[in-house]
Amino acid sequence: MDDAFESDDGSEQEAIREPRRWRDNGWTAQVIKNEDDDGWAVAMTPDGQVEPALVGPWTMGRDKKNPKPLDTAAFNTLVKTAAEFVRRHEQQLHATLHQQIEISHAGGRVTVTLDIEPDEESPSAKLRATDAAGEVLGEASVSPGFKLTRARAEAWAHAEFSAQSVR
Query: pLDDT, tens digit, for every residue of 136-151?
Result: 999 999 999 999 999 9
Give the chain's mean pLDDT.
90
pLDDT interval class at 165 (50, 70, 90): confident
**pLDDT at 36 (0 to 100):** 73
Q: Above 60 in pLDDT, residue 107?
A: yes
| 62 lies in the same domain as 21 | yes
Q: Does residue 78 lie in a domain region?
A: no
123 and 64 housed in the same domain: no
Angle at 128 between CA 131 and CA 158, to 5 degrees: 70
- In this prediction, residues 89-99 reach a mean pLDDT of 95
> Based on the domain organization, do 62 and 8 belong to the same domain?
yes
Domain count for the chain, please give it. 2
State residue 1's pLDDT score: 40
Confirm whether 30 is domain-assigned.
Answer: yes
| Residue-level pLDDT at 142 | 95
Range of the domain at 143: 97-166
CA neighbor of 11 nearest in space, from 47, 45, 51, 58: 47
Kindly state whether residue 88 falls inside one of the protein's structural domains: no
Which pLDDT score is estimated for 151? 95
Q: Is residue 17 part of a domain?
A: yes
113 lies in some domain: yes
For residues 14 and 104, what is the distance between their CA atoms, to the nearest angstrom?
Answer: 57
- What would the mean pLDDT of 140-163 be, rounded to a whole number? 94
Q: Are residues 159 and 102 in the same domain?
A: yes
Identify the pLDDT of residue 2. Answer: 44
Q: What is the pLDDT of residues 3-13, one digit of tens each?
A: 555 555 555 66
Domain ends where: 52, 70, 88? 70
| Same domain, residue pair 113 and 57 | no
Residue 8 near residue 24 (C-beta atoms within 8 A): no
160 and 104 together in one domain: yes
Q: Are residues 66 and 115 in the same domain?
A: no
pTM beyond cutoff 0.85: no
CB 31 within 8 A of CB 23: no
Strands 16-18 and 21-24: antiparallel
For residues 19 and 55, state if they share a domain.
Answer: yes
Q: What is the pLDDT of residue 9?
A: 55
Co-location of 25 and 65 in the same domain: yes
CA angle 167, 153, 162 (to 5 degrees): 50
Residue 44 lies in a domain: yes
Q: What is the pLDDT of residue 38?
A: 75
Q: Are 94 and 66 in contact (CB under 8 A)?
A: no
Within a domain: 89: no
Q: Does one domain contain both 105 and 49? A: no
Q: Final residue of a domain: which of 51, 70, 89?
A: 70
88: confidence class by pLDDT, cuts 50, 70, 90 = very high
Q: Residue 76 falls within a domain, yes or no?
A: no
